[in-house]
Structure 1
Amino acid sequence: MASSEYRPIGDGAALNKMLPTSNGTRVKKDHDDSMRLEPTIGLFSGVTINVGCVIGSGIFVSPKGVILNIGSVGGSLIIWTFSGFFSMLGALCFAELGLAIPKSGGMYAYIREAFGECIAFLYVWLALVILLPVTFAALGIIFGQYILEPALVAMNCTDVDLTGCTQILAIICVSLTTYINCRSVRLAARVQDVLTVVKVSALALIIIMGIVEMAKGNTQNFENAFEGTNLIGLGGALYSGLFSYAGWYSLNFIVEEIKDAPRNLPRAIIISVSIVTGIYVLANVAYFAVLTPEELIQSNAVAVTFGIKVLGKFALIMPIAVALSTLGSINGTLLTSSRLFFAGARDGILPKLIAMINVRYKTPLPALFFVSLLSLVYVFVKDVFQLINYFNFVTWTAAGMSVLGLLYLRWKRPEMEKPYKVNIALPIVFVISCFILVVLGAINAPMDTAIGVAITCTGVPVYFLLIKPPRLPRYMELCVAKFSSFFQKVFLVAPEKKYT
């Protein structure tokens, strides 16, 4: 059998015959008769997507990590402020990268451009197999826990084991956000708009109540604010603070889908990171206006504890707000991170099927489908949160390498067009800081880091055995071809190019 006989449907011709649907309607093509991701995200949606990806459950649930490590109220507020400025530093560098290399995929695209395919593949491999699916599973479990919280409190059944119910709600949460993202980029952006407004409103309520408490004279926690500062715990405090800002790079994953990107990408990044920094610092001020450092450290859900003390019978607003905030984080991160796998498949380091687009909705349905499917598997892992700890070094390693790539490309390819450019000092400081953060993290949790590095290295044999060779074994090509053909027919997906 010739190879052309079992190759996956790749030119869209066979799929074009299937365009009439079961209800007799016909898929509408682009005006230019092409299959591609469309720029549908404006400035406001860009801001809400970035804000929504950054603000998850962390600021509601566990800002105690900073105060636990640094030991003082004043030191804690400085860490939260510095973390915001540092995230802005990285975000500005990423704005230049996103416009100099205007490709979906974010950090993957930049690492590949500067350092080659193999290193970029290791990042994609880790993100696809473990990092992002585990993150979605963990967020889904948190969503389930806080959806159930009001019912448990109402029935006074706080000691009941509802693991099964939590897992079912996590599956519903991940499945719903996946459907929304498969259905329409515009719909996913609109959902993100609404959920971001909800979570910001909840944090605004916390801030307002904190201001009210301070106006009543409850400022005793701010007296001698730096007493007890523990500089030895500075590294751990920084890691906790910066972890809560993770996601400031999200817009770079979807740069091809941003309207007027040279104008809107830098603006959306600057506005969103500024908003998050202001909210985080003010929310922590509000927490300390109501809770002592000891109460904050003892609480596993700071916003809920805060609500019980100041909102009385309306305190159940807080667990609902945490659940909706988590839902928004899943939706926004799924919208952006799925483009990482889409871009990798388009470049040939993942199966080409993952780079296909639904012909009706113009969404990367296969990429969304596979990462969500893995997420549903991880929902049933007993210690999913421990898995996340193994990969704390990944974000800052990948971010540092991306910005190091910016410096390399400035030197190697000075002719590269750069619609937006930052002062050379910013990427230098950022790269050095990322290196320090990775070292501090390894010192703080050497075993977790070692396990994470070992798992990452499993991608090396996968790359040299399955990705780098120009052809796979015949039986594997046949299996891939048959599965791709089946998936294309069932889900109406085609390659990102013109079809007739």
Structure 2
Amino acid sequence: MRPKGQTNPSGPAALSSEGPEILRLKREIGLTSAVSLIAGTMIGSGIFMSPEWVLRNIGSPAGSLIVWAACGLLVTFGALSYAELGTIIKESGGDYIYILRNFGSLPAFLFAYTSVIVVRPASVAAVSLSFAEYAVVPFYPGCSSPPMVIKCTAVACIVLLSLVNCLSVRLATSIMNIFTVTKLLALLVIVVGGMVLLAHGQTESFQNAFQNTKTDAGAIGIAFYQGLWSFDGWNNLNYVTEEMKKPEVNLPRAMMIAIPLVTCFYLLVNVSYFAAMSPAELLSSGAVAITWGNKVLGSWVWLISLSVALSSFGSANGTLFSGGRVCYIAAREGHMPDILSMAHVRHFTPSPALIFTSVISIIMVIPGSFSQIVNLFSFTAWLFYGTTISGLLYLKIKKSELPRSYKVPIIIPIVFLMASVYLVLAPIIDQPQIEFLYVILFIFSGIIFYFPLVHFKCHPMFLRKLTLHLQLLLEVAPAEKNVN
């Protein structure tokens, strides 16, 4: 770790892209790639798996559709708020950099510590496990896929995506663009199939649609967790602001294209599920999209398995792409080991941070459980989302004179903050689980590392030697900010 802003002038930095002493990540993300990064990360395995869990927690088809619509509205409010933050603080890093600039070093370190060690790798692991489950299904017809095969496939997925992201930003964004189009076409097939069923009068699920709706706070909170998991990735663009072309224009524009588009698709896909299945059938399906495919597509159901696998693969790519940037930016600010703040001298990618995130993700695949990962990830994520938005409210009230190219009405971040507080507290109060306590304890355990390593800068000599050897091995050098 190093003090903020300090770089190592030695090493292979002479091979930089913008002069003999400056190495920067390139601005290669245009509007199309920005939309693909958001939509492509959001549309992963969630819409093919979470509808069952949303319905299980909320109890009724109408209640389920309301939860999905509310999730879309909530993340739209969040995206509008983050867009303003991105035009005030024009640095990559998303929540981390916003918390750092508004609340200081310790809260930002706790976010980075939690995000780099748990949240981002857990998200990559969960989506990769979903990819693996659907990718190996054709090889085991009529029986369950062996857990070891699923986990090995998930590990292979992470390794491949890590290699792609380390080699080229352009290659990684091209994959995002291609897979985003593919998954939108897959969702369109489900939507059209549902419209055909409705046209033929299959509306039984929508009769007495509010029957059995649950209204207790904990059940609603958990239902939102499962729905919001499918929207995860709505703020990914804020993690790569320095790599965007014209971020002051493309950041809010990409969010306003991608998120309403995804929300509309999600609602229509859920309507299609309910047109094809009764609530009881949906709850017992295990794999909602496959059950839908069996009923509607018949022998062509393999298309759904392929679509879910491709969708999950694309989402894992976007999650790893942004997750590596969190690690990279935190290291650049002195909150993580030096080596993680470096970029490859020829490929201009934060390869050490990407490799580190991939390794932690692989470790999480080994004992991974999809539903547990979702709940713990959601609880932690919304805790920090609320913290970030409170920083925006501070800037709007106390520093309204700061230049910004985009402003959001103050009521929008207020509503988002209230929803964040509800999503954090409601499950704890109504359905307390020991796992939530473990998460909170883990977050604050970061203080043990913060004071000796960051505040007092106690850096062991062996770590410095290791950094030098890794720098030579990985062909990386310290990189500068790109905020002009």
Q: Equivalent residues in 2 for 1:387-466 (5 A)?
A: 387-443=373-429, 444-466=431-453
Indicate which of 440, 454, 463 corresponds to 1:480: 463
Residue among 9, 14, 29 paired with 2:17: 29
Confirm or deny: 8 A CA contact 2:71 2:227 kept in the other structure.
Answer: yes
C-alpha displacement of 1:225: 2.1
Q: CA offset at residue 387 of structure 1?
A: 4.9
Which consecutive unaligned segments of at least 5 residues does structure 2 have? 1-5
Are the equivalent residues in 2 in contact too, given 1:210–1:289 (CA < 8 A)? Answer: yes
Aligned partners of 1:123 and 1:245: how far apart in 2?
Answer: 20
Note the C-alpha offset of 1:480: 1.5
Query: Which amino acid in 2 is paired with 1:316?
Result: W
Q: Give the Å deviation of 1:31.
A: 6.1
Aligned pairs, how many? Answer: 473
Q: Which residue does the alignment assign to 2:204? A: 220
Task: Tell me how far apart the structure 2 counterparts of residues 391 and 366 of structure 1 sit (CA, whole Å).
Answer: 24
Structure 1 residue 95: Cα displacement: 0.2
Structure 2 residue 455 is the aligned partner of structure 1 residue 468: yes
Choose the corresponding residue for 1:495, options 468, 478, 483. Answer: 478
**Whole-Å Cα distance in 2 between the matches of residues 71 and 388 of structure 1?**
19
Could you tell me which residue of structure 2 aligns to residue 14 of structure 1?
A: 11
Q: Within 2, Cα distance between the matches of 1:256 and 1:159? A: 45
Deviation, 1:383, is: 4.7
What SS does the aligned partner of 2:47 have? helix
Change in CA separation of 1:242 and 1:305 when aligned onto 2, cut-off 3 Å: same
Q: 2:114 aligns with which of 126, 146, 160?
A: 126
Q: Which residue of 1 aligns with 2:349?
A: 363
Contact map agreement 1:71 1:229 (CA 8 A) in 2: yes
The share of aligned pairs that are identical, in percent, is 38
- CA shift for structure 1 position 220: 2.0
Whole-angstrom distance in 2 between the partners of 1:239 and 1:386:
11
Q: CA separation in 1, counterparts of 2:125 and 2:322?
A: 16
Q: Secondary structure at the match of 1:458?
A: helix
Looking at structure 2, the residues matched to 248 and 387 of structure 1 have their Cα atoms a distance apart, in angstroms, of: 18
User: Which moves more between the two structures, 49-58 or 31-40?
Assistant: 31-40
Say if 1:44 and 1:333 are closer, same or farther in 2 by CA, change over 3 A.
Answer: same
How much has 1:388 moved relative to structure 2?
Answer: 4.9
- 2:35 matched residue in structure 1: 47
Compared CA separation, residues 386 and 73, structure 1 to 2 (3 A): closer
Equivalent position amino acid for 1:488 in 2: Q
One-letter identity of the residue aligned with 1:207: V
Compute the displacement of 1:373 (Å). Answer: 1.2
Counterpart contact for 2:9–2:21, Cα < 8 Å: no
Amino acid at match of 2:39: V
- CA deviations on 1:19-73 (whole Å, 9 max, x unpaired) are 8xxxxxxx67336863101111011110111011111111112311222222222
Is 2:289 the partner of 1:303? yes
Question: Aligned partners of 1:245, 1:151: CA distance in 2, in Å?
Answer: 30
| Aligned residues of 2:81 and 2:408 also touching (Cα < 8 A) | yes
What is the TM-score with the length of structure 1 in the denominator? 0.90
1:243 aligns with 2:229: yes
Question: Which residue of 2 is the match for residue 112 of structure 1?
Answer: 100
2:194 to 200, 207, 210: 210
The answer to whether the 8 Å contact 1:392/1:441 transfers is no
* Counterpart for residue 76 of structure 2: 88
Structure 1 or 2, whichever has the larger Rg, is 1
Conservation of the 8 A alpha-carbon contact between 1:62 and 1:301: no
